[in-house]
Structures are given as C-alpha cells and as structure tokens.
Amino acid sequence: MFVALNRASGLKFVMPDGRRVEIAGNAAHLKGLEKGKLPIGAFGLTPVAADDWEYIKETYGALALFKNGLIFAAERKDYALDEAEEKSELRHGLEPVAPEDMKTTPAAAAE
C-alpha cells in the first residue's frame, strides 16, 4: 500500500505491538534544504504494509484527516499519485501565509 498525506509534517501511528508507523508529510523532501518552499496541496507518499494500514484506518479513521480525504491509501504508487493530483485543492489549514493575499495593512510606525 502507498499512503498519501496532505500535511506539512508527518504523523506517527502506534501499532498494537508497540511499533510506530510514520507517514511522511508533503514537506518531507525539504529536509536539509536551506530555503525550501512548502508544497501547498501536495501529498507526501509512504509505503505501508496492508495490515498496518488496515489497523490505522480502524483505530484512527474517525479523525478529520481521514474524513476530509487528507490521508488515503492506494494499492499502487501510480494510483496514489493520480488520486493525490485529484485532491490537490484540499487544504489542511496549516499552509504558509501568502503576504500578497492578505487584506490587512501594516500599522503606522511609532514616531
């Protein structure tokens, strides 16, 4: 299975045997870069064992991430990439602010 996650940071899910399965967020490829740019609307992709994914869905499936389509799995990598492209308009609410889109103005400088 390939699990896709639309979130800048990854998530760790605790399995019944104590292992932690980490799902990469969409900024995983920025690690080590001096000045990276967060990919808005992109999904991180992580291979996960099918049994682990079933447990994660059963245990954590009530979370908004699952209900909103911000995390999902596909049998093949190309299927996951296709679905991620379809869902590229989804937003998780933690995207960086675009100053040019702000509707506020700077406060006047103190004299």
pLDDT score of 32 more than 80: no
Can you tell me the mean pLDDT for 27-40?
A: 56
Report yes or no on 86 lying in a domain: yes
Query: Of 18, 90, 14, 81, whose CA–CA distance to 44 is shortest?
Result: 81
- Domain that includes residue 9, residue range: 2-30+41-91
Report yes or no on 106 lying in a domain: no
**CA 84 – CA 103 distance, rounded (Å):** 30
What pLDDT digit, counting tens, does each position of 43-94 carry?
888 999 999 999 999 999 999 889 888 899 999 998 888 888 888 777 766 6
Give the helix ranges, DSSP H, for 1-111.
50-60, 64-67, 77-86
What pLDDT digit, counting tens, does each position of 1-19 carry?
999 998 878 899 999 999 9
Q: How many domains does the chain have?
A: 1
Q: Could you tell me the pTM of the whole model? A: 0.71
